[in-house]
Amino acid sequence: MTERDTESPLSEPLRTVTPPYAGRPDAEMDVIGWAIVLVMVVAVLPLAILGGFGWLVWKLITSLFDSEDE
């Protein structure tokens, strides 16, 4: 049997040419992400309110005209 035939886990980690990466908190990208979320909320929230108001007015108008047809 060769070493490939055995299904045991590696006894030592594989070495690569790239240095190991020990992660760190990325506060800069976190700030950018929160800024994007804030801009989207500021831009979309008024549009959602206007859209909801328009939908409500549309439903009111269509219900008034539908009741007159009967």
- pLDDT at residue 63 tops 60: yes
What's the pLDDT score for residue 10? 67
Residues 47, 39: Cα–Cα separation, whole Å: 13
- pLDDT digits 0-9 by tens, 32-62: 999 999 999 999 999 999 999 999 999 999 9
What are the phi and psi torsion angles at 24 (to 5°)?
A: -140, 160
On the question of pLDDT at 2 being above 90, the answer is: no
Q: Which residue has the tokens 């045991």?
A: 8
Percent of the chain with pLDDT over 90: 53
Reported pTM = 0.47
Domain regions of the chain by residue span: 42-70
- Check pLDDT > 90 for residue 6: no
Alpha helices of the chain — where are they, by DSSP H? 27-69
